[in-house]
Chain A
Amino acid sequence: MHIDKVHLTIKRACIFLVVITCLVIIDYTGFFQSFDNYFYDLSFRIRGNIPSLRGIILIKIDDKTLERLGRWPIKRSNYTHLINKIADARVILFDIVMTEPTEEDKGLGDVIKRQGNVLLPVLIGNNQTVKYPSVPHIMRNTGHVHIEPDVDGIVRGVYHTLTLNNISLPSITSVAYEIISGMPFKRQGIKQHSVRPGSIVQSDKMKINYVGGHDSFDNISFIDVIQGLYPPSFFKGRIVFVGLTATGTFDILLTPFQKERRGMPGIEVQANILNTLILGNAIRDVPAWLRWLFTFIVSTGFFIFFMGITERWAAISGLIFLLSVIMISYLSLTRLNIWIAPAVYCIGIFLTFMISYIYKFDDAVAMLGRAYKTLEPHLRWKGEKAGINNIREGLTGVLTKRGINTQIQVLTDVGRQMSFEKELTERALMSDIHGVMLFDHDGNNMLINELARDIFQGSNIDTYTLEGFIKSIHPHLLERPEPESVIEKICHEQTNAVYTLALAEKEKRYYKVDFSSFNVEGAGYILIIVTDITRIKELELLKGHIISVVSHELKSPMTSIQGFSEILSKNLTGKMQNFAAIINRESERLVRFLNTFLDITRIEEGRQPVRITPVNLMEVVKEVALALKPIGDTNHISILTEIPDKIDNIMVDRDLTKQCIFNLVENAIKYSPPNRDVIIRLEETGDYERIDIIDHGYGIKEEDLGRIFDKFFRSTSDKTKNIKGSGLGLTFVKEAVELQGGRLTLSSRYNEGSTFSIIFPKQKKTD
């Protein structure tokens, strides 16, 4: 059982770990990405705008500009004008592709050469070729403006390096960062072997820390600048982005903020990228291995925790953990710029809860299945039983259609069974054939029927507790056992006991009191069934009385027969004398039989007066040995006594005890072949005094040992069949010894001899 439990626990722990491993693998494949992204975007929206760098300014080629300057694309000479107007700017980034050569390129190129801080984008063409701006003098100040949205179309990051045909293209913002900071942008570089010809490799990914949604940066209209609305000093030292925002001229990019406002043009995204670079607050990810390790630790911890608490607390604590994870991931993103993707923990904790719940459910259902199985043998009801053998243990026992149906049917069966049993029990208990009482293991009365109440109430018998009951019926028990021994026997040894109770109210009534104990689920109960046996007992007594009267009536004639045959046997001669002697001997035997029979009847009827006095058993044994010496001599048997030097007096009936020893020694002589010893050994041991009568005679067959004390029973064999006896002697001894509170035991081996022992307890209580 215990080993099974350990196996089950190991098996479950393994299943749990496999599930969590699967979860981690699924997480690795990006399955929970959308869940994580949702929280990522939500965190940005909850956070709201943060202050942007004041130094960044956007110059937008908006609808107003195009109205003035004509349709897109506008002449590049406009850009030359612009650069001249904002010549004091720190860096000027154009988010405008200028790869197609035009006539104004030269003028623009000159300005750019003079400025030195103008950045133009490169274009990656359809055939995977890099197209540089057609503007001269720009070669080094270029960068890609490629923005790669995530699968859900939302732009969260940028790759600062693209590698194409061994040409490394930095992002335009990273080039701007190098110019502004005066330090090289640290690139991770790429592994050469991972570059396939004709493919673009993206690297140096950065997660953009958006300052907000659309229009989060200062922005002014292109045309306003050209028309000189802003003095050159306005742009001094600022980072200027130039790009398209006019309707229909560019793609709107979606950002984490897209839910509440419309998407933003590329120029704003680029501004956010540079803002992130300069502030150095790019969002960093927690390494995957750390996340997964944490998933294992947290899930395992919660699994152990969940198995030990109730589902309710598990649900509450699980929910608290879920909220905490989301809260922590929000705070970590917005305060520390570290992104803890919460999906794997949330799903992990949910799975852990489910698994522990399923295991608990499985345990409960298995217990239910076992409970049904233990019920099965007790179903006595003979109606249709709905296949209790088909009961399944565990989850299949309830989750399958067949499983749950079987359990329902069995439950119905059990219900019927209960009704049947209840009916049966009530009828049996409440019928007034027997008095019934039930005590629990503490000895308190749980049930008593009308009859038992009637029987005991009139006689002042305590029926409230078992101990009280036994103590109060004890004086009325014919068997006269010690109350303690009755309690010991019933409560502790759990054996059944039957006693005869004689209650005298108006008339004497006899009851059989049957004690039995039984166990249900470790709790003990004591059932007492009281049967009125007055009629039977009265018949028995009447029978005994009749026999007793007859026996007495026989005594007078027997006195004459014995007396006169004795006279005749002494006065006649020859054969006649022999015949008279036979009559005399047989009449003596008949009288002895009558006397023994009357003695037993007296004990059984409770009429035998017992006179308990202090008795020295040494004297009694000596007397018996002396009295039986003539018979021993006749049979060539020597009677030996083994007696201690000194022995305490013991409280017994002297006459009865003497007669018991006498009978046993006489028997020993009778059932021994000539020239053997009979030993009477008296011993004092601790709490007892013990008289052993040991012979080396014919012994008793093993199969007869159980019946040897029965009335009229005689164990016979070829050697003993001619020995005359009544079959009453041992019955008398046993009853007489027990009447005085002693015990008679016997050990015997056929053809080797017997030992009868009378054992009296020393501290005998006097009533």
Chain B
Amino acid sequence: MDTKRVLIVDDDADIRLLVDFHLSSDGYEVLEASDGMEALGIIKENRVDLIITDITMPVMDGYELIKALKKSEDSSGIPILVLTGKEEERVSRADMEYQPDDFLPKPFAKEELQKKIERLLAI
């Protein structure tokens, strides 16, 4: 089986580094983007199996990214995991037009991240 490719979208380079470290050590291939626009560019040119995204970002935020991805037939099948420090967003996701597939609050422990990724990729 091919190495799974995960895209991390976050404006904080430290977070990208952290997630990259965790995933790389677990054998995933990791791509990085610092905002939604950049992420869309990467997805166009690369096969991506899973997207982990922050919500609050410059240029194009998480909501817009999710909306764009879910709208496009090409990318609507890619599972999306939201990684955010805003608790409210967990409870208000029901109000969102397009839903992410899962949610992980910041800060997170490695095991939680692992579990969620495994579950999302298994679908």
Q: Do the beta carbons of B18 and A609 come within 8 Å of each other?
A: no
Is A463 part of the binding interface, using a Cβ–Cβ cutoff of 8 Å? no
Across the interface, do B18 and A595 meet the contact criterion of CB distance under 8 Å? no
- Once the chains bind, are B106 and A567 in contact (CB under 8 Å)? no
A/B interface sample: 25 pairs, CB < 8 A = A555-B85, A555-B107, A556-B12, A556-B15, A556-B106, A558-B106, A558-B107, A559-B15, A560-B12, A560-B15, A560-B18, A562-B107, A563-B18, A563-B22, A564-B18, A566-B110, A567-B18, A567-B110, A587-B107, A588-B109, A595-B87, A602-B87, A602-B88, A609-B91, A611-B91
Task: Please count how many residues in chain B sit with their CB below 8 Å of the partner chain's CB atoms.
Answer: 17
Q: How far is the CA of A552 from the CA of B21 in the complex (A)?
A: 24
Q: Which of B15, B22, B85, B88 has the most CB of A within 10 A?
A: B85
Hey, which bits of chain B sit against chain A, CB under 8 A?
A: 12, 14-15, 18, 21-22, 85-88, 91-92, 106-110
In the complex, A599→B15 CA distance in Å?
A: 24
Q: Which residue of A lies closest to B94 (CB)?
A: A611
**For residue A584, which residue of chain B has the nearest CB?**
B109
Is there an interface contact between A609 and B106, defined as CB atoms closer than 8 Å? no
**Chain B residue, CB-CB nearest to A653:** B91
* B22: A residues at CB distance < 8 A: 563, 567
Tell me if A's interface is mostly helix, strand, loop or mixed.
Answer: helix
A172 close to B (CB within 8 Å):
no
Q: With CB as the reference atom, state the residue of chain B lying closest to A560.
A: B14
Q: What are the residues of chain A within 8 A of B88 when measuring CB–CB?
A: 602, 607
A562 CA to B19 CA in the complex, in Å? 12
Residues of B within 8 A of A587 (CB): 107
Across the interface, which residues of B come within 8 angstroms of A567, CB to CB?
18, 21-22, 110
Closest Cβ of chain A: how far from B15's Cβ, in Å?
Answer: 6
Neighbour of B106 across the interface among A555, A566, A598, CB < 8 A: A555
Question: Which has the most chain A C-beta neighbours within 10 Å: B86, B107, B109?
Answer: B107
Q: Does A591 contact B (CB under 8 A)?
A: yes
Min CB–CB distance B20 → chain A (angstroms): 11
Interface centre among A552, A555, A559, A609, by most chain B C-beta atoms within 10 angstroms, is A559
User: Which A-chain residue is minimally distant from B14 (CB atoms)?
Assistant: A560
Bound CA–CA A595/B88 (angstroms): 11
Which of B18, B86, B92 meets A559, CB within 8 Å? Answer: B18
With a cutoff of 8 Å between Cβ atoms, the chain A residues found around residue B12 in the complex are: 556, 560
The reply to whether B92 and A563 form a contact with Cβ atoms under 8 Å apart is: no
B107 A609 Cβ-Cβ under 8 A: no
Contact of A563 among B85, B91, B108 (CB under 8 A): B108
Report chain A residues within 8 Å CB of B109. Answer: 562, 566, 588
Q: B87 touching A609 by the CB < 8 A rule?
A: no
Render A571-599 as a binary contact track against B, CB cut-off 8 A, 1 for contact. 00000000000000001100100010011
In the bound complex, do residue B108 and residue A559 qualify as a contact, i.e. CB atoms below 8 Å apart?
yes
Q: Please state if A559 and B107 are interface contacts (CB–CB under 8 Å).
A: yes
For residue A434, give the distance in angstroms from its CB to the closest CB of chain B. Answer: 36
Instruction: Tell me whether A556 and B108 are in contact in the complex, defined as CB-CB below 8 angstroms, given that A563-B18, A564-B18 are known contacts.
Output: no
Q: Mark A526-570, 1 if CB is under 8 A from B, else 0.
A: 000000000000000000000000001001101111111011000
In whole Å, how far is B34's beta carbon from the nearest beta carbon of chain A?
14
CA distance A598 to B85 in the complex (A): 11
Which of B21, B106, B110 has the most A CB atoms < 10 Å from its CB?
Answer: B106
Docked CA distance A611–B92 (Å): 11
Cβ-closest chain A residue relative to B92? A609
Is the Cβ of A552 less than 8 Å from the Cβ of B85?
Answer: yes
**CA–CA, A561 to B18, complex, Å?**
10
| Interface contacts beyond A555-B107, A559-B106, A563-B15: sample of 10 additional A-B pairs, CB < 8 Å, sorted by A | A552-B86, A556-B12, A556-B85, A560-B12, A561-B107, A562-B107, A562-B109, A566-B109, A602-B87, A611-B91
Residue of B nearest to A570 (CB): B110
> In the assembly, what is the distance between CA of A566 and CA of B91, in Å?
28
